[in-house]
A and B are shown apart, each in its own frame.
Chain A
Amino acid sequence: GAVVSQHPSRVICKSGTSVKIECRSLDFQATTMFWYRQFPKKSLMLMATSNEGSKATYEQGVEKDKFLINHASLTLSTLTVTSAHPEDSSFYICSARAGGSTDTQYFGPGTRLTVL
């Protein structure tokens, strides 16, 4: 089956620093990747849609200058949390769409970000 990886799985950083999270589709090409954020015991909230070779589309209320998304290839999208603050602490999950007509998305294992 389709596999999506995320790196790192867990990161702790100081307030004010930037953190980059990678999302890779390992055995398929993904023209579209999605970034979600999940608060404790909550559902997933879509942050942005990442399209290869073009600018990401951000959801309302998501700061594009704070959450930088780059989709440089058909197998890699990155999310950079700039000038992180404690309120940015969360579980970040990416997904990749395999294409075709069924809209199935395959999810990465998630990245736990803790900002001190």
Chain B
Amino acid sequence: AQSVTQLGSHVSVSEGALVLLRCNYSSSVPPYLFWYVQYPNQGLQLLLKYTTGATLVKGINGFEAEFKKSETSFHLTKPSAHMSDAAEYFCAVSNLDTGRRALTFGSGTRLQVQP
């Protein structure tokens, strides 16, 4: 079974400041990990994913995440926040052990960017 924990339901940063959104996972098998962003009343857009290989993954809009197996973490970062980054962010793990490939989502983190 898989699970995802996102620490902090709300994160507020100033424009230009570092963005750090935390995600920890548990998985009985090697995980595939994802970060998605959701704007109000819209579906989810894939930011980045980790499957195998390089543990530092770069995504769209300047975001990146690092897979740390020893810490079971996949935190999302961006060096400089932009107003347009304000949204809900979801970390997810792929449900590989059942073979059905469904995603298990964290509870989400709402990012606010202050001017």
Contact = CB atoms under 8 A, between A and B. Distances in A.
B28 interface: no
Nearest to A47: B102
A44 interface: yes
Given A43-B105, A43-B107, A49-B102, A107 B36 contact: yes
Interface residues of A, number: 25
Contacts, number: 58
Nearest to B96: A103
A24 interface: no
A112 B46 contact: no
A93 B105 CA distance: 13
Interface in B45-60: 45-46, 49, 51
Contact of B49 (A6, A46, A91, A102): A102
Given A43-B106, A43-B108, A44-B90, A102 B44 contact: no
A43 B90 contact: yes
B66 to A, nearest CB: 18
Interface of A: 4, 6, 32, 34, 42-44, 46, 49, 57, 91, 93, 95, 97, 101-110, 112
Given A44-B44, A44-B105, A49-B100, 4 more contacts: A49-B101, A103-B32, A105-B46, A106-B46
